[in-house]
Amino acid sequence: MSDGILHLTDATFDKEIVNSKSSAIVDFWASWCYPCKMIVPILEEIANDYSGKIKVAKLDVDENMPTATRFNVMNIPTLILFKDGKEKTRIVGVAPKEEIARKIDEVLKG
């Protein structure tokens, strides 16, 4: 896993995402989820490409169910983009890097 990806827990989520002025993309995932594993290389590239512009983070839904429930994550992988601590958009399922980058760009501009 890339050093540019932050690993969140229920205990750290609000501090790192909700109470942060930074924009962030959070990958809600589980270790048994094959599609979740498919997007890891994409997220590593995103973390490198957007270093210093957006936080890239992961939250294991099996170990952090309260946070997953709070954000109504029903399917994984789910990528949620946050700006100023508020959800701006989400992507459910595997998406190509270009689509993820486009949504990040929209959030950063908006």
Residue 39's Cβ-side half-sphere holds a number of Cα atoms within 13 Å equal to: 30
Query: Of the listed 24, 26, 36, 73, which one is catalytic?
Result: 36
Per the structure, how many domains does the chain have? 1
What pLDDT was estimated at residue 110? 81
17: Cβ contacts below 8 Å, ≥ 6 apart: 8, 24, 26, 55, 57, 82, 85
Query: Of the listed 18, 30, 33, 91, which one is catalytic?
Result: 33
Q: Is residue 19 annotated as part of the catalytic site, yes or no?
A: no
Q: Is residue 33 annotated as part of the catalytic site, yes or no?
A: yes
**pTM value surpassing 0.85:** yes
Coil, strand or helix at 89: strand
What pLDDT was estimated at residue 4? 87
Phi/psi at 27 (nearest 5 deg)? -95, 110
pLDDT tens-digit profile, the chain (110 residues): 456 899 999 999 999 999 999 999 999 999 999 999 999 999 999 999 999 999 999 999 999 999 999 999 999 999 999 999 999 999 999 999 999 999 999 999 98
Range of the domain at 89: 5-109
What pLDDT was estimated at residue 1? 42
Two tokens, residue 98: 């270009």
Q: What is the CATH number of the domain that holds 88?
A: 3.40.30.10
* CB-CB neighbours of 23 under 10 Å: 20
